Chain A
């Protein structure tokens, strides 16, 4: 069975990227999609927000701040990952080092793609989202801990909230196995379906 990035418990600072509706064209613009592999996409991550036209980093873009260079969690606004189905978006995020995104909601295709790449989408209600925003405003150094097994996110004061995650995707993330192996195990049933319906 093939592997994917295993999701272990994660403790990290949280990068506040609070605009609503961050679309996958922002996460990675289409001009970076002319590749035939997954390598190097982190260079294109949020590139038009990260860099000036002359290629120098924009000092006011949150992911350029020195205190977030090792951060692994993005705290996002509502409906993160909307738009195009490009899996290059989670590839670019994980390539940069992001392992979880916390938001009040995610676009469907992005969420599916993220879960297949060891990138955890954490859905949080508005109250806890506000709490996390407050936390990040109090100190950029504040860390949260994500426990996938428990499906909880712990704040520094040990308060926590629970988050939903698809049971099957959770199993795959914890074990670090990809979903195709499971799907391949249905070979006989797929053949039976094809025989029944199409006479194959």
Chain B
């Protein structure tokens, strides 16, 4: 009998073009997603070498990072951002790439539209010049972020030079409690293993709590694999996956669907497959999570207190925590519950899908955003925006006093003018709380859409379970 294979093994083996001794593997890439920020220098590289794009039909472009979320009828004020968008438009025209530009009905955050349109499918290799490419692993694909040199490599050859990563099994067993969501699973994992815990590995999430998640929730979990140090996170495809994909615009149809389905069903890891590392979380023990520091691993249960650097023996770790707490202006040993909040942001490739918006709207219905709080709701795509408006979610947000914006990355990366002012505190459904990430001097608490909405209503960090 052959050695049992993991999902990672199967996808890797199916894309291996060549493997020379003492060299990285040549790995074929099925889908290359690009956006305006990390592609211009790669196009310049192609031009400089006189190269063409090898497979235009495997490349898909969107504008998302520096796009304004103000009404599309308004002119774009940022000349540099505007020039970058124009450059992407020119590059896509010159090299023959499908672009969903600003204003297109398919426009949106790269990691939202890929799955939404059915481009992302099980068993694929998917890359993008963006670390949150890990999102697409929710479909049982091997999806990871790359640098701009590698973007050029994929343009020219549809391949990448890669060493096979190690495997890391993440089991989440049991049932999530009320008010506890996919975001809390991933924040709890990162708090447990640390932000470098998965370096060199690919997570494979499994267990009853993962199986019970919807595709949108699975995307939230896989999205933040990179925050645990893993370039990719994967979930074996199952009926939930197939049901999500069925009928999507660019998913296979008819006989091709049946054929694809048969091969997708072979992807889950074989019984007895070995992993290099393994960890288990109990879903029943999880609570809403929130971060207190300046990396996503600095997270606690919302009822817990901020840790004390004085109790850390390792001097580098102690100093890192001290520096974080100084930046956040938060004292050790204090609870975060009740901490004042200036801004609440619901959006980003982590939490901007329709189910995220429904959850936030569910809390805001018949309630108001606290007077001292600015709340922005930024849907992940134009399609989501439209769907939310058909359901009347926009009205709930607007009546509560929140801003209902156009789609994009917005305040997650603060390149488009949506940003925190120095010193402001935000509860944010995004993925990174690094110093200045949401605006120079801004301070971020990462949490779920439910926790974000609850905190917006109360004007302080709040436990949503008391409002449900």
Contact = CB atoms under 8 A, between A and B. Distances in A.
B415 interface: yes
Contacts of A2: 48-49
B387 interface: no
Interface of A: 2, 18-21, 23, 25-26, 29-31, 33-38, 48, 53, 77-79, 82-87, 90, 105-109, 112-113, 116-117, 166-168, 178-180, 182-184, 186-187, 189-190, 193-194
Given A82-B195, A190-B28, 14 more contacts: A31-B415, A53-B422, A79-B195, A79-B196, A83-B226, A84-B131, A85-B130, A85-B145, A86-B38, A108-B165, A109-B145, A113-B148, A190-B159, A194-B28
B147 A113 contact: yes
B203 to A, nearest CB: 13
Interface string B421-437: 01000000000101111
A26 B437 CA distance: 9
Contacts of B231: 108-109
B87 A29 contact: no
Contact of A30 (B160, B226, B413): B413
B81 interface: yes
B281 interface: no
A19 B41 contact: no
A48 B145 contact: no
Nearest to A116: B149
B435 to A, nearest CB: 6
Contact of B323 (A19, A34, A35, A182): A19
A78 B319 CA distance: 12
Nearest to B86: A36
A117 B149 contact: yes
B129 A85 contact: yes
A108 B199 contact: yes
Contacts of B163: 166
Interface in B1-56: 17-18, 22-24, 26, 28, 37-38, 40-41, 44-45, 48-49, 54
A35 B80 CA distance: 7
Contacts, number: 180
8 contacts: A34-B78, A108-B200, A112-B150, A117-B149, A166-B24, A168-B24, A190-B157, A190-B158
A58 to B, nearest CB: 14
A62 to B, nearest CB: 13
A182 B161 contact: yes
Given A2-B49, A183-B153, A34 B415 contact: yes
Contact of A186 (B22, B83, B159): B159
Given A85-B38, A183-B26, A107 B440 contact: no
Nearest to A2: B49
Nearest to B18: A189
Given A108-B231, A190-B157, A21 B295 contact: yes
A83 B161 CA distance: 21
Given A79-B196, A107-B196, A19 B320 contact: yes
B152 A180 contact: yes
Contacts of B130: 84-85
A106 B200 CA distance: 10
A85 B415 contact: no
A19 B83 CA distance: 36
A36 B17 contact: no
Nearest to B41: A38
B17 A112 contact: no
Interface of B: 17-18, 22-24, 26, 28, 37-38, 40-41, 44-45, 48-49, 54, 65-66, 78, 80-81, 83-84, 87, 129-131, 144-150, 152-153, 156-161, 163, 165, 195-196, 199-200, 226, 229, 231, 295, 297, 316-317, 319-320, 323, 413-415, 422, 432, 434-437, 440
A178 B149 contact: yes
A167 B156 contact: no
What 3 pairs across the A-B complex have the smallest Cβ distances?
A87-B147, A36-B40, A113-B147
B97 to A, nearest CB: 16
A106 to B, nearest CB: 8
B26 A190 contact: yes
Contacts of A116: 147, 149-150
A18 B316 contact: yes
Contacts of B45: 180
Nearest to B17: A193
Nearest to A180: B153
Contacts of A87: 38, 41, 129, 147-149
A23 B434 CA distance: 7
Contacts of A35: 40, 80, 84
Contacts of B435: 25-26, 48
A183 B45 CA distance: 15
Contacts of A180: 45, 49, 149, 152-153, 156-157
Q: Which of B84, B199, B323 has the most CB of A within 10 A?
A: B199
Nearest to B23: A168
B319 A18 contact: yes
Contacts of A194: 28, 158
A95 to B, nearest CB: 13
Contacts of B156: 180, 183-184
Contacts of B144: 109
Contacts of A167: 22-23
A141 B414 CA distance: 39
A33 to B, nearest CB: 5
A186 B17 contact: yes
A18 B295 CA distance: 16
A48 B200 CA distance: 29
Nearest to A36: B40
A185 to B, nearest CB: 10
Contacts of B147: 85-87, 90, 109, 112-113, 116
B52 to A, nearest CB: 12
Nearest to B55: A194
A90 B131 CA distance: 15
Given A25-B432, A34-B415, A79 B28 contact: no
